[in-house]
Amino acid sequence: MNRQARWLVLMATAVSAAVCGCIANPPTERDMQATVDAAVLEKETQLETKAAADRDILLTQIAGEFIIQLDQLRSDLSSAGGPSSVGDDAISGILEPTAPYWIATPTLSLSAGLSASQPIPTVGSGGISGATAVSGECVDRFEFLSDVTFPDGTMTLPNTRFDKTWYIRNSGTCDMTRQYKIIYISGSEVAAAKEFPLFTEDKLLRPGESTPISVPLTAPETKGKYSTTWGLKNPGGKIYGSGSAGNVYLTSVFQVGSQYNFYENLSGAICRDDIGLFFCGSSDRSSGRGAAYYNASPTMESNYAGGPSILIAPPAAENGTTRVSFGPVRVTRGTWLRSAVSCPPNSPHCDAFVRLLIAPNGGTEQFVAETHETNDGLTSEWNTNLSDFGYHDQDLTIIFEVQANGGVTSDDLIIFMNPRLTDIPPR
């Protein structure tokens, strides 16, 4: 039997005997000793096994366990004809850390780690009571990094639905979860709701981590300039933004006009080649992947110096294909899709099929236009009235497709000059 367990049992027995000096039929000294010896033997086995596992338990729990053991000892002694009660004063005397080995860590005491204002925890049938959990409050904050889709100033057609996406970093000290919301602050009310989940799936954004976040917006019917402002809301209902004071919010500024410029919306498009998705805006073809990127003023095959353009290249594979999908875009009656299309100049091996496809929301893709571009010194013109195909007053996904004719060379690059949706017909 270890020293601490033997000491506790002997002390409890001594206290019990001392507290009650009058018993109706006091046992003899031999009977008393036999009772004590039996109790000691029984508790020795129980406490010997428990002592090893309980060494690292909180002192409050140990104190509570000793109280329970003493209560049991009271009952055992009472059943054997010994004292029937042990006073609280006697118990508190036993719990005073007068013996350096009453616990394995002598540097601790019953009140170790507790301030004077904190109640000493107690242990009962319901567990520990009186304990106070101390935790610091974290800070919610984010940092705006960049626009992902619809950069400020983007032109769009009336009633066009689009996702505005920002890239942010969690610059606070709290974990951001799906319970956080993106919430409308001020400006044009161009969303179907005033708050949206920060994430559409279970996700955890820890401090220092970055993520894109989006809200679905719809361009108003009336032409003009619009601005809408959004912030974040934590699960407790607190609204916050970026900056040291948390009062700088996310904005989307866009134009509603007579045309939709595809090159302005390239960052929000979906770019895919035969291998899979790739980043829209990259001109790097060194890995053999497809490419789709912006050029402010490329020279067309006819040596015409054009305006802002999208350049699309197929991947390095036999008949490799790259597709760039825009939308959904709301088109009205009399909407034209217009663009000049050609190979670059001085590209003798350029040889690709170029297609325009339209897909109604939830519908099947349809070929609208197709050209075979080679180095022939000519520039093709796409002037397509979408109403001629039955498309008006509906949301469309618009796809530019470039497919190599056979093997791919570095010359296989197609220029789409000033690609746009407009209500202005060709002259």
The model's pLDDT over 129-168, given as tens digits with 9 standing for 90+, comes to 333 333 468 999 999 999 887 878 877 888 888 889 999 9
Residue 9: strand, helix, or coil: helix
The answer to whether position 134 is within a domain reads no
What band does 97 get if pLDDT is binned at 50, 70 and 90? very low
Contacts of 375 (CB under 8 A, 6+ apart): 301, 343, 347, 348, 349, 350, 351, 411
Query: Into how many domains does the chain fold?
Result: 3
> What's the confidence (pLDDT) of residue 28?
57
> Are 252 and 269 in a shared domain?
no
The total of other beta-carbon atoms located within 10 Å of residue 318's CB is 9
Average pLDDT of the residues of the chain: 77
Domain check: are 300 and 271 in the same one? yes
| CATH code of the domain in which 238 resides | 2.60.40.10
Query: What is the mean pLDDT of the segment spanning 366-381?
Result: 92
Would residue 135 count as lying in a domain? no
Question: Is pTM, for the whole model, over 0.75?
Answer: no
For the ranges 50-59, 206-215, 266-275, 403-412, which has the lowest average pLDDT?
A: 50-59
Q: What is the pLDDT of residue 116?
A: 31
In angstroms, the CA 159 to CA 155 distance is 12
Residue 200 shares a structural domain with residue 269: no
Q: Are residues 300 and 193 in the same domain?
A: no
100 has a pLDDT exceeding 50: no
| Residue 264 and residue 151 in contact, taking contact as beta carbons nearer than 8 Å | yes
The predicted structure's pLDDT at residue 72: 60
- Whether the pLDDT of residue 404 is over 80: the answer is yes
Q: Within this chain, do residues 282 and 395 fall inside the same structural domain, yes or no?
A: yes
State what percent of residues in the chain have pLDDT above 70: 68
pLDDT band at 202 (very low <50, low <70, confident <90, very high): confident
pLDDT band for position 220 (50/70/90)? very high
Give pLDDT tens digits for 104-137: 333 333 333 333 333 333 333 233 233 333 346 8
Output the pLDDT for position 225. Answer: 92
pLDDT over threshold 70, residue 384: yes
Task: Check residue 365 and give its pLDDT.
Answer: 92
> Can you spell out the DSSP letters for 67-133?
HHHHHHHHHHHHHTTS-S---HHHHHHHHS--STTSSS-TT--TTTT--TTSPPPEEETTEEES---
Of 257, 289, 305, the residue at which a domain comes to its end is 257
Cα–Cα distance, 327 to 392 (Å, whole number): 15
Cis peptide bond prior to 328, omega within 30° of 0: yes
pLDDT band at residue 27 under the 50/70/90 scheme? low
Q: Which residue has the tokens 């090159």?
A: 263
Confidence of residue 413 (pLDDT cuts 50, 70, 90): very high
pLDDT of residue 117: 32
Q: Which of the listed residues 129, 157, 174 is the one where a domain comes to its end? A: 129
Among the three residues 129, 155, 187, which one is the final residue of a domain in this structure? 129
- What residues have CB less than 8 Å from 240, skipping those under 6 apart? 140, 141, 142, 231, 232, 233, 234, 246
The confidence band for 171, taking pLDDT boundaries of 50, 70 and 90, is: very high
In a domain, 93, yes or no: yes
Q: Mark whether 300 and 407 lie in a shared domain.
A: yes
Say if CB 179 and CB 200 are below 8 A apart.
no
Rounded to an integer, what is the distance from CA 216 to the centroid of its chain?
18
Cβ–Cβ < 8 Å for 309, 417 = yes
pLDDT score, position 348: 92
**In a domain? residue 137:** no
- Residue 405's CATH number: 2.60.120.200
Instruction: From residue 278, give the alpha-carbon distance in Å to each of 274, 287, 356.
Output: 10, 11, 20
Residue 267: the pLDDT is 84
Domain that holds residue 206: 142-257
Q: Write the pLDDT tens digit of every residue in 233-273.
A: 999 999 999 988 899 999 999 888 878 899 988 988 999 99
> Do both 77 and 185 map to the same domain?
no
On whether the CB atoms of residues 7 and 51 are closer than 8 A, the answer is no
Those residues with Cβ within 8 angstroms of residue 88's Cβ, 6 or more apart along the chain or in another chain: none
Q: What is the per-residue pLDDT across 305-331, written as a single tens digit (0 to 9) for each?
A: 778 999 999 999 999 999 999 988 878
What is the average pLDDT across 182-188? Answer: 96
